[in-house]
């Protein structure tokens, strides 16, 4: 990503969060007015209630769009200049999440019901071992890419069979390249 794209993504995340909060606040106010109108002016209760529902739906949609954008940005190392993206990526790289990903890989290897898993069993087994190794650190972008590889039904060549099968091995190599031994600080 270029710097301008990172700035644009940062601004878009902020705009979506603001839109989400604003719509939610106005929806709460509309629901409150609908409740008050139910006893004072019953004819106004339904319009306020419908307005509140509409705004609540808009708030949910803004939240979903923000979550989707964040999900796409977390695998982009350049986007980690955005504090929210960096925090999400660092969460993906925690040892607890890494152990969870390792268990998910081992489960897939045991089931062996996906030909792409079978074809890449050696790389997946090595990745599972590295994820569970507390002596290794994992780059946050690579941790996010690992999570995406195992769970994203659209972007993952491991899960989405319409994507080229060769992409599985290249993604695994890319993820495994993100492991390194911690540096000793004196």
The backbone torsions φ and ψ at residue 79, rounded to the nearest 5 degrees and listed phi first, read -75, -10
Angle of the 42-73 helix axis to the 3-40 helix axis, nearest 10: 160
The backbone torsions φ and ψ at residue 138, rounded to the nearest 5 degrees and listed phi first, read -125, 130
Strand partners, 147: none
pLDDT tens digits, residue range 53-89?
999 999 999 999 999 999 989 988 899 999 999 999 9
Token pair of 33, please?
Answer: 């007015």
pTM to 2 decimal places: 0.76
Rounded alpha-carbon distances, angstroms, from residue 53 to 5, 34, 43, 61: 34, 11, 17, 12
112: left (phi over 0), alpha (psi -120 to 50) or beta: left
How many C-beta atoms surround the C-beta of residue 75 within 10 A? 24
pLDDT in tens, the chain (186 residues): 788 999 999 999 999 999 999 999 999 999 999 999 999 999 999 999 999 999 999 999 999 999 999 998 998 889 999 999 999 999 999 999 999 999 999 999 998 788 999 999 999 999 999 999 999 999 999 999 999 999 888 889 998 889 888 899 999 999 999 998 887 544
How many C-beta atoms surround the C-beta of residue 116 within 10 A? 20
């Amino acid at each position: 990503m270029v710097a301008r794209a990172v700035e644009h993504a940062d601004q878009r995340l902020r705009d979506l969060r603001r839109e989400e909060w604003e719509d939610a606040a106005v929806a709460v106010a509309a629901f409150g007015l609908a409740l008050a109108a139910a006893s004072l002016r019953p004819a106004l209760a339904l319009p306020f209630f419908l307005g509140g529902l509409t705004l609540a739906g808009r708030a949910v949609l803004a939240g979903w769009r923000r979550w989707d954008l964040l999900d796409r940005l977390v695998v982009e190392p350049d986007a980690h200049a955005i504090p929210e993206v960096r925090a999400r990526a660092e969460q993906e790289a925690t040892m607890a999440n890494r152990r969870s990903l390792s268990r998910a890989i081992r489960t897939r290897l045991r089931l062996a019901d996906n030909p792409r898993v079978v074809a890449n069993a050696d790389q997946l087994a090595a990745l599972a071992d590295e994820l569970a190794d507390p002596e290794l650190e994992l780059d946050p972008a690579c941790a996010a890419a690992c999570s995406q590889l195992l769970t994203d039904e659209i972007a993952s060549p491991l899960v989405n069979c319409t994507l080229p099968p060769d992409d599985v091995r290249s993604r695994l190599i890319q993820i495994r390249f993100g492991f390194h031994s911690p540096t000793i600080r004196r």
